[in-house]
Structure 1
Amino acid sequence: MEFLTTTEMAEKWKLSRRRVTTLCRENRIEGAILKGNTWLIPEDTKKPEDPRRTRKTEKIED
């Protein structure tokens, strides 16, 4: 299994390195491990969903 750093995953997912680090700290990236000061993320891990981007649908009553 290959691991990528936060910088490499940030480029792959088109996010900032800081955002990827935050996701790791919040345990939102499956399989991410902290080795010293470096987060290692399995390269086949899927990008977590961003709850801020979900559309809230309202129930319309007749």
Structure 2
Amino acid sequence: MEYMTLKEASDKWGITPRMINYYCANGRISGAVKMASVWFIPKDAERPADKRFKTNSPKDGEHK
């Protein structure tokens, strides 16, 4: 299996390495492995959903 670093995943997914570290530490990226103090993420891993935002919420000016 091929792996990428936090920096590579950050460039690929458009989020900060710190947020990816948080996802790894909380088990939200399946297959992520920590060796010493470095996380390795499978290259085919999917970006986890950001639970801070609802996908069904209305946009500005829209009503339900």
Which of the five TM-score ranges fits, normalised by the shorter chain? 0.7 to 0.9
CA RMSD of aligned residues (A): 1.5
Matches within 5 A, 1:1-62: 1-54=1-54, 55-56=56-57
Aligned length: 58
CA–CA distance in 2 between the matches of 1:31 and 1:45?
8
Q: Given the two structures, how large is their TM-score scaled by the length of structure 2?
A: 0.82
Q: Which runs of 5+ in 2 are unaligned?
A: 59-63
CA–CA distance in 2 between the matches of 1:20 and 1:26?
10
Q: Tell me which amino acid in the other structure corresponds to 1:10.
A: S
CA–CA distance in 1 between the matches of 2:23 and 2:45?
13
Task: Give the Å deviation of 1:50.
Answer: 1.0
Q: Tell me which amino acid in the other structure corresponds to 2:53.
A: R
Task: Give the Å deviation of 1:27.
Answer: 0.6
Q: Which runs of 5+ in 1 are unaligned?
A: none
Deviations 1:2-35 (A, max 9, x none): 1001111011000001000010001100000101
After TM superposition, where is structure 1 displaced by more than 6 Å over at least 4 residues in a row?
A: none
